[in-house]
Amino acid sequence: MSRVITLREALGEAMSEEMRRDKSVFLMGEEVAEYNGAYKVSKGMLDEFGPKRVIDTPIAELGFAGIGVGAAMNGLRPIVEFMTWNFAVLAFDQIVNNAAKTLSQSAGDFSCPIVFRGPSGSAGQLAQQHSQTFESWLANCPGLKVISCVDPADAKGLLKSAIRDNDPVCVMESESLYGLKGEVPTDDYTVPIGKAAIRREGTDVTLVSYNKMMEVTKSAAEELAKEGISAEVIDLRTIRPLDYDTIIQSVKKTNRLVVIDESWPFAGVSSEVAYSVQRMAFDYLDAPVIRVNAEDTSLPYAKPLVDAWLPSVAKVVKAVKEVAYRPA
């Protein structure tokens, strides 16, 4: 059985179900309790679980992230919500230097079962300091797992897996797609961390993306189909660990690859995917890999510039025609 709900509702269900299942799970962050969450993801949770398990924090990301790390090392399973990952830069010392390294520094004696979650990427005209993508930043650090998925059913299952995981997990959401609707199962389920999803089967080109760029990618695949180009669409869902096998097997079938990534082009997720394909499937490629990224500048404020800065359906279609040697 399933029903159609929004991404925010799916994420809220994941947290509530895990808090009912495990008394050691609790939520903390700015406006998560009295205000029902900055994006209403935690709506109703204060009423059900009370102020000891749904905790409003001061505007002090480094401080409450540190409290969460300490709680995780002492047997609890915190969920730390950042109003945006842009603000979490202040907490990177706790995430990167403490949470990620607890297991190795303690020679396996201490784990750090903590989830850091919140929206990543642009969300309209929020300008430079509120529109950055952090998947590649965090995935660069051994010891962290990184999830980036907006499909409601998968996002719910992945968040439940993250809460149950004994390692620190960073969950990257999308501020602009919290209202995205999809069918979500009614029964208890999880989605494995580290496994990509094939959203559309195809034979001519592989399109790889994640988070809200999946919506752009799926729309581009529909446009390409009208022109007789069959695109296979892969949703990474998890950035670290990355599902190399699904990507490679798809490229071996289609012989062409375009990677769509909202982050900047230098040293991003798209760079890792492109490098890995040329290393593991070079002989299968019939054209150079092309990446479609955000422009290599800070995000402008004006809406026409925002639209020009982001990857778009038109940019993806153009890239596919290049790798397919079709006239634009």
Q: What is the DSSP string of 135-202?
A: HHHHHTSTT-EEEE---HHHHHHHHHHHHH-SS-EEEEE-GGGTT-EEEEESS-----TT--EEEE--
CA quadruple 130, 4, 195, 233: dihedral sign: negative
Q: Are the beta carbons of 6 and 40 closer than 8 angstroms?
A: no
Any residues with CB less than 8 A from the CB of 166 and at least 6 apart, and which? 111, 113
Q: Please name the amino acid found at residue 118.
A: G
The CA distance from 264 to 133, in Å, is 8
The CA distance from 38 to 120, in Å, is 14
- b/e code 249-278 from CB counts within 10 Å (16+ = b): ebbeebbbbbbbbbbbeeebbbbbbbebbe
The CA distance from 76 to 87, in Å, is 24
Query: Does the annotation mark 48 as catalytic?
Result: no
Q: Which of 193, 27, 177 is nearest to 117 (CA)?
A: 27
- The one catalytic residue in 9, 18, 130, 232 is 130
- The one catalytic residue in 30, 61, 173, 262 is 61
Both tokens assigned to 183: 């069918």
CA quadruple 138, 34, 25, 11: dihedral sign: negative
> What does each C-alpha distance from 278 to 176, 195, 266, 273, 321 come to in angstroms?
33, 20, 17, 9, 20
Query: Does the annotation mark 201 as catalytic?
Result: no
Secondary structure of residue 209 in the 3-state scheme: strand
Residue with tokens 């979650």, as numbered in its chain:
117
**Catalytic residue set:** 61, 130
